[in-house]
Structure 1
Amino acid sequence: MDYGLLRVLVVDDEQFSRFAVGTVLRLLGVKKVVEARDGASAMEAYAAFWPHLVICDLEMKPVDGMTFLRLLKEQEKHLHRVAPVIFLTVHAEGHLVHQAMELGAAGYLVKPVKAPQLKKRMDSLLANTPDLYGDLPRDDGPAAG
């Protein structure tokens, strides 16, 4: 999959984490990355940027990742679509991860984010939710003939 046209919103209250995730995304070929420092600024960025994917820290202040996802889900009727949200966490297991998945998160990755894990998750999302990525060119392999 060519990630060149993919729009990704990265949300984290730590500037270094935003930079690190953005760097990994750019290494994978994503050219359109927007950053937000918490859930509140992420809602504004989401409305302006219309991302295909959101990568969001689970534990932020003042507005955490769970609250952001809840707000996003509440706005789904007005937004007409909600991009998948992948949460970042330092905890591989735990009640927060479980709650996030129950709320509708598309998955989670453990910090620090590594390119192979992020690529695998992104490929899976693109393959399983094609309606969210209708404006992206698809690489479906050679034409049957």
Structure 2
Amino acid sequence: MGKIKLLLVEDDAAFSFIIKGCLELTGNYDVSIASDGKEGLEKYAAFIPDIIVADIEMPIMSGIELVSVIRRKDTQIPILFASARTSPKDLIEGYNLG
């Protein structure tokens, strides 16, 4: 089996660099990084990832908006939110996006 293609959508460049490096060191992941939701959509179409990890609060397009657009096209791809937001409202909104 080939490497897992992971799209990381995160506006914190240092955090993205660390996550990408750690995952790629395992030898199991090919990681593509986008710094905002708009770029995330472009990378989603070009990179065709197996899984997406997205921050919620980002410039230009939020993670919620990004996932809403992707879910209209693709209901199967696993998507994880990486966020410090933990309010019940935020959790429900994330679950409702699938």
Report what 2:4 is aligned to: 6
Matches within 5 A, 1:12-31: 12-31=10-29
Number of residues of Structure 1 aligned to a counterpart in Structure 2? 97
Name the TM-score, length of structure 2 as normaliser.
0.86
Distance 1:28 1:102, change over 3 A: farther
Q: Structure 1: how far apart are the matches of 2:41 and 2:18?
A: 21
Report what 1:43 is aligned to: 41
Range with greater deviation from structure 2 (54-63 or 82-91): 82-91
CA RMSD of aligned residues (A): 1.8
Q: Structure 2: how far apart are the matches of 1:85 and 1:31?
A: 16
Q: Structure 2: how far apart are the matches of 1:25 and 1:85?
A: 16
Q: Structure 1: how far apart are the matches of 2:78 and 2:37?
A: 15
Matches within 5 A, 1:1-145: 5-76=3-74, 82-91=76-85, 93-94=86-87, 95-104=89-98
Range with greater deviation from structure 2 (19-28 or 35-44): 19-28
Q: Structure 2: how far apart are the matches of 1:30 and 1:36?
A: 20
Report if aligned partners of 1:72, 1:82 keep a CA contact under 8 Å in 2. Answer: no
Distance 1:82 1:49, change over 3 A: farther
Deviation at 1:82, TM superposition (A): 4.2
- 1:70-109 Cα distance to aligned partner (Å, 9 max, x none): 0101223xxxx64211110113x212222111211xxxxx
The answer to which structure, 1 or 2, has the higher relative contact order (CA under 8 A, 6+ apart) is 2
The one-letter amino acid paired with 1:89 is: S
Report if aligned partners of 1:58, 1:88 keep a CA contact under 8 Å in 2. Answer: yes
The one-letter amino acid paired with 1:98 is: I
Give structure 2 stretches of 5+ with no counterpart.
none
Percent identical: 27
Distance 1:5 1:83, change over 3 A: same
Name the TM-score, length of structure 1 as normaliser.
0.60
Give structure 1 stretches of 5+ with no counterpart.
105-145
